[in-house]
Chains A and B, each alone.
Chain A
Amino acid sequence: TQLLEQSPQFLSIQEGENLTVYCNSSSVFSSLQWYRQEPGEGPVLLVTVVTGGEVKKLKRLTFQFGDARKDSSLHITAAQPGDTGLYLCAGFRSNDYKLSFGAGTTVTVRA
């Protein structure tokens, strides 16, 4: 079982549509990171959220950290084909210095 559960596992949408990816856990995290991974490449960090309830925006991407610091979401507005990739969340627990990754959500944006 994964410490961080991501949903949905796969998402295919048309260009211009909006999408939301979820990252949930029963554990509390000190911070949560979102990475994007393109085929044949390693993950690249998009954002880190550290405060419960925090919302960060990166152009058309909006990241939210839950108030209880157990969950997070990534919302993409007006998705573009360049947003296609595997989105990974990773939660850090300061009590055991462990960084745990979710299994990822594969997003495909069709032109």
Chain B
Amino acid sequence: NAGVTQTPKFRILKIGQSMTLQCTQDMNHNYMYWYRQDPGMGLKLIYYSVGAGITDKGEVPNGYNVSRSTTEDFPLRLELAAPSQTSVYFCASSYSGLAGDVEQFFGPGTRLTVL
């Protein structure tokens, strides 16, 4: 199993451009998540999904959109990129929803720079 894969690994955007970060998991997990990681700030939840067709906002959703048409894929869309969106983005999945002992499996991340 490849686990959670993310593409691209790196990307530089100009202010106002748009892009989609891809995330795919092959573990048949219902739950998927998008986080951003900034220095000294820890991981912040952007959006999550509890299954195909169902998504919900996390802690920092502004400026992002998501969709979940299949169990495997959970793309993150950035519209009108801003310098504040410069970050490392991680996709994760889990077999069940967030609870005390649920393990999340993370992808390798996408490093995005907006200039």
Contact = CB atoms under 8 A, between A and B. Distances in A.
Given A42-B90, A42-B108, A42-B109, A103 B40 contact: yes
A6 B100 CA distance: 20
A4 B44 CA distance: 12
Contact of A103 (B41, B90, B104, B108): B41
Where chain B touches its partner, the secondary structure class is: loop
A101 B98 CA distance: 13
A92 B100 contact: yes
Contacts of A88: 42-43
A87 to B, nearest CB: 12
Contacts of A94: 99-100
A46 to B, nearest CB: 10
Contacts of B43: 43, 88, 90, 101
Nearest to A103: B42
Contact of A92 (B4, B99, B106): B99
Interface string A49-76: 0100000000000000000000000000
Contacts of B90: 42-43
A42 B100 contact: no
Given A41-B109, A45-B103, A94-B100, 6 more contacts: A4-B42, A31-B100, A41-B108, A43-B106, A44-B106, A103-B41
Interface of A: 2, 4, 9, 30-31, 40-45, 48, 50, 88, 90, 92, 94, 97-104
Interface of B: 4, 40-45, 90, 92, 97-101, 103-104, 106-109
